[in-house]
Amino acid sequence: MSNTTKRVFSFLLCLALFLSLSAAPATFTKPVRLRAASRPPARGQHGMVSSVSEIASQVGVDVLKRGGNAIDAAVAVGLALAVVWPSAGNLGGGGFMVIRLANGKATAIDYREMGPAAAHRNVYLDSKGEYIKESSTYGHKAAGVPGTVAGLSYALEKYGKLKWADVAEPSRKLAAEGFPVWHQLERSLKGASNGLSRYPETKRIFLRNGKPYEAGEIFKQPELAAVFARMIKEGPGEFYHGKTAQLIEAAMRRAANGGKPWMTVEDLKNYKPVEREPLRTTYRGHEIITMPPPSSGGVALIEMLNILERYDLKALGAGSSQEAHLKVEAMRRAFADRAEFLGDPDFVKVPVAGLTSRGYADKVAATIDPQRASTSEAVGHGDPAAYMSLKESEETTHFTVVDKDGNVVSNTYTLNDSYGNKITVEGAGFLLNNEMDDFAPQPGKPNFYGLIQGEANAVAARKRPLSSMTPTIVLKEGKLWFAVGSPGGPTIINTVLQVLINVIDHGMDIQRAIDWPRIHHQWMPDQITYEPYGLSPDVLNRLKEMGHKFVDRPRNMGDAEGIMIEDKTGVRLGGRDPRLDGHSVGY
């Protein structure tokens, strides 16, 4: 047989084999599910802390090892982040904490900042009624009365086991002795250098007078350490009526140039955290516990879950164009309602029962075309008032803690913008928030994050601004399954939504659910934000064919930190977000 004949024969044999295999019936009956690569979650037999900082997470685990519960550890983590993650960790800001105890009791602690007595509806407008540029984002008048110390100490006193000095001492030590600057902190400080350079004290402390810290260098904060020392000696109330409060008012008086200070010791004395009933719903049989107003996060999350529960997202597939389309349409409608109805429930009537009812979700879902994008101009807010009788309910940081007994804390707190209003209180070493921009400085016009907000969230004295923070806990068969939250301004709500869908609908573990690419739509502006490599070209093109519009450039969103209880073993699984190199520490 010639070589040519042999080659022809071999080709024909291979072809016959290929055709026979192609025609052969499949030997498997279950569909193959392809999974994107993801690192495994951290594991802990007894407890777990997930936060943006390994140092802060370790502080929390050390408290658990000393016999503290999840609330003790959460307070310690919150205080530690004020030292090691100053862009969002804070003493000068505020936030929200959702707690579920092992005995089944759940509660929500609102320690959101509030407007000082000097605040009023038109404080950021000129004589023509136009917004004064940067007036609610930079400078002393951008700051609301801080709630962090009051909120954390309230949680500790009511639900913790340890004393304030026990959980505050690690942070005093970190501030006094210093800690190695880590890569993300180096990047954060350098990235914010223009804003931080506006104010001499801030530039001195956080930029070392123009010589920013490099990774590995030791960062000491003696003024901040002195604040912790006073609070340890005199109690957390020192922040609101002691020397620290006086330093805050003194900073405000200097800024007022002889006029009335924007914030006074009296404002600080009058601040009180509020314990609220958390919102509850179910999604595909799993109970969801989340934050009520003045956070808009829980209401919007529940509205979107109620809409999406009507669709088989699992069958559509994670990352498919059809799943993305339905999520965007739910986001669009929930954010339109957010703009119209949400505000501080102590000042305005918020139709929570209507917005979170399944009857209302039925009506809203009926306006979604499965094959075509809506336009935000055409999609306005709904009318939840008809459903009120039904009984159903960008720079921030989040941490989650679970202890050996199953107590869980999901906590999100913030200075609002990165490093808040960029002003450091002289002699105290901490930054103040620019949370007043979370009000509607000019109702009907977009704020720093592009969010349009209505009269319900107008500025007022002693009122709390609307928030997107969405600390959330999920139960399975009545027991803790997982808890999660995220920073990211308005993207917070949609980050939490997508983590929940990834776990519940698509069967992902907590780490994979957090790693998975995200999308975001907030009604206005009418465009989808997406992450780099998050949408394949064919999915992107299909969504454009459906009428969706996209931002010019993708970007990463959020920093979700979550913990899941592993089925059967009960091991705590820590999910940390790679977007800011988060850290889960267990034991």
Q: Give the whole-angstrom CA distance, residue 418 versus residue 316.
A: 37
Token pair listed for 258? 């002889």
pLDDT of residue 513: 98
Residues 428-465: pLDDT tens digits? 999 999 999 989 888 877 766 666 667 888 999 999 99
Contacts of residue 249, defined as CB under 8 A and 6 or more positions apart, other chains included, come to 261, 263, 264, 265, 268
Fold classified for 277-395+469-586: Glutamine Phosphoribosylpyrophosphate, subunit 1, domain 1 (3.60.20)
Secondary structure (3-state) at 56: helix
Single out the residue of 72, 195, 78, 3 nearest to residue 561, CA to CA.
78
Residues 212-255: pLDDT tens digits? 999 999 999 999 999 999 999 999 999 999 999 999 999 999 99
Residues in the chain: 587
Q: Evaluate whether 247 touches 224 at the Cβ level (below 8 Å).
A: no
Beta bridge pairs of residue 572: 44, 565
Beta bridge pairs of residue 479: 476
Beta bridge pairs of residue 458: 440
Q: Evaluate whether 292 touches 279 at the Cβ level (below 8 Å).
A: yes
Q: Give the whole-angstrom CA distance, residue 227 versus residue 247.
A: 10
Residues 119-172: pLDDT tens digits? 999 999 999 999 999 999 999 999 999 999 999 999 999 999 999 999 999 999
pLDDT of residue 14: 40
Give the pairing of strands 179-180 and 218-219: antiparallel
Residues 83-93: pLDDT tens digits? 999 999 999 99
Given 148, 396, 412, 470, which residue is catalytic?
396
Q: What is the per-residue burial (b if ≥16 Cβ within 10 Å, else e) of 497-532?
A: bbbbbbbbbbebbbbbbbbbbbbbbbbbebbbbbbe
Residue 149 dihedral angles phi and psi, to the nearest 5°: -60, -45
In the block, which residue shows the tokens 């040519």? 4
Active-site residue flag, 396: yes
Q: How distant, in Å, are the alpha carbons of 437, 472, 537 from that of 445?
A: 12, 29, 34
Q: Evaluate whether 442 touches 131 at the Cβ level (below 8 Å).
A: yes
How many other C-beta atoms are found inside a 10 Å radius of the C-beta of residue 551? 12
Each domain of the chain, given as residue ranges in start order, spans 61-93+102-275+418-457, 277-395+469-586
- Alpha helices per DSSP H over 235-357: 238-241, 243-256, 265-269, 297-308, 313-316, 321-341, 352-355
